[in-house]
Amino acid sequence: MDAIVQETALARTRRARRVDRALAVRYPDARCELDFRTPFELLIATVLSAQTTDVRVNMTTPELFARWPDAAAMATANQAELQDVLHPTGFYRAKARAVAGIGNALVERFGGEVPKRIEDLVTLPGVGRKTANVVLGNAFGVPGITVDTHVHRVAHRLGYSTSDDPAVIEADLGELLERREWTMASHRLIFHGRRTCFARRPACGACPVAALCPSFGIGETDPVLAAEMVKD
């Protein structure tokens, strides 16, 4: 990482944007992998995605939204019934309280609609900046940087940030990337973390940004073996 210490801010910005362009080529279908039709559905789905997979959430939300399709319905949901539906997502008691609380808050303070400002979103139960940025970027088209575990890991490996504070990482990435690219750049980093730059052993030899990454070599460097590790 000595090279990163010596890297100028301008050089880091240029490198970060080259990395983003390369990831756009590698992951042209990068997107939010949670299924949703409305801002409310995306908000609830993102809260439910904590400590579980998007696949599991997508298996759970059709029944959830069929029974409680909007904020008013969610606010009056029976907690036992809500917990039963949410059980497969894990931490179902806390999640049931959170989504019912979100329904109540939306009805009482926002006319039943999901607000379009991050300052309002983060006042909702169980909603932090990560969730707020997911909703803003994907439901409302407001650029935002989502710092989940994948973005945290990849940002560190690429030398974009040395902080473990998601808010600081978000700010660091915001300084490097064009604002209009924030939402899609987040998706690309998440896709990269899920498909190539794995937590335990990244597939370095099959990485599209290997030449731009100061952490190259911490994982499998053999191109053939690394390619076998990559997930579609």
The catalytic residues are: 130, 148
In 3-state terms, the chain is what percent helix, strand and coil (to 5)? Answer: 65, 0, 35
Neighbour tally for 180: CB within 10 Å: 9
Angle (deg, nearest 10), helices 182-195 and 9-26: 70
Question: Tokens in use for 91?
Answer: 């931490």
Run of H or E residues at 67: helix 54-67
Question: Distance (Å, rounded) from C-alpha 43 to C-alpha 38?
Answer: 9
CB 107 within 8 A of CB 75: yes
Q: Residue 41's closest CA among 70, 67, 63?
A: 70
